[in-house]
Amino acid sequence: MVTLTIDGQEIQAEEGQTVLEVARQAGIKIPALCHHPLLEPFGACRLCVVEVIRRGRSRLETSCTHPAWDGLEIKTNSPPVREARKTILGLLLSRCPNVPVIQDLAREYGVMEPPFPTDKPDEKCILCGLCVRTCHELVKADVLNFSQAGVERRVGPPFLEKTRQCIGCGACTIVCPTGAIEIVLEKDAVYQEKPLGPTSAIWVPSLTAVPRVPVIDTDACIRFRQNDRTNGEIADACGVCEMVCEAGAINFEQQDEVLELDVGAIIVATGFEMWDPHQLSQYSYGKSPNIITGLEFERLSNAGGVTGGEILTADGRKPERVAIIHCVGSRDHNAHPYCSRICCMYSLKQAHLVRDKTGAEVYEFYMDMRAFGKAYEEFYERVQKEGVTFVRGRGAEVEVLEPQNGQKYGQLRVKGEDANLGRMVQADVDMVVLSTAIEAPHDASQVASLFGLSRSEDGFFAEAHPKMRPVETNTDGVFLAGTAQGPRDVPDTVAHAGAAASMALALLDKGEVTISPTVSYVLTRYCTGCGKCVVVCPYKAISLGEDGKASVNAALCKGCGSCAAACPSDAITPLHFTDDQLVGQIMGVFYEQIVV
Q: Which residues bind another protein (CB under 8 A)?
A: 445, 449, 452, 454-457, 462, 474-475, 518, 525-526, 528-532, 535-536, 538-539, 544, 547-548, 558-562, 564-566, 568-570, 574, 577, 579-580, 582-583, 585-587, 589-590, 593-596
**Cβ 576 to another protein, closest distance in Å?**
9
Among 418, 458, 482, which Cα is nearest to 269's? Answer: 482
CB nearer to another protein: pick between 82 and 540:
540
Q: What is the DSSP string of 202-256?
A: EE-S-TT-SS---EE-TTT-HHHHHHHHTTTSS-----HHHHH-TT----TT---
By beta-carbon proximity to another protein, the closer residue of 270 and 562 is 562
Within 373-488, strands assigned E span 389-392, 395-400, 412-418, 423-429, 431-436, 438-439, 478-480
On whether the CB atoms of residues 45 and 130 are closer than 8 A, the answer is no
In 148-214, beta strands by DSSP E: 154-156, 202-203
Nearer to another protein, 230 or 454 (CB): 454
Give whichever of 394 and 558 is closer to another protein, judged by the CB atom.
558
Q: How far is the CB of 522 from another protein (least distance, A)?
A: 13
- CA 68 to CA 17: how far, in whole Å? 6
Q: In DSSP terms, which residues pair with 439 in a beta bridge?
A: 273
3-class state of residue 319 by DSSP: coil
Q: Residue 462 CB, nearest distance to another protein (Å)?
A: 7
Query: Nearest approach, Cβ of 507 to another protein (angstroms)?
Result: 19
- Distance in Å, CB of 446 to another protein, minimum: 11
Q: How far is the CB of 586 from another protein (least distance, A)?
A: 5
Measured from the CB atom, is 175 or 268 closer to another protein? 268
Helix then strand then coil, in percent of the chain rounded to 5, is: 25, 20, 55
Distance in Å from the first CA to the final CA of the chain:
110
Which ranges of 301-421 would DSSP assign to H, the alpha helix?
Answer: 343-358, 376-385
Contact (CB, 8 A) for 417 and 393: yes
Nearer to another protein among residue 145 and residue 456 (C-beta):
456
Q: Using the minimum distance from each CB to another protein, give the nearer residue, 424 or 587.
A: 587
Q: Which residue number, 347 or 562, has a Cβ lying nearer to another protein?
A: 562
CB of 259 to another protein, least distance (A): 24
Q: What phi, psi does 67 have (nearest 5°)?
A: -70, 150
**Minimum distance, C-beta of residue 513 to another protein, in the bound complex (Å):** 18
Q: Which residues contact 25 (CB under 8 A, 6 or more apart)?
A: 13
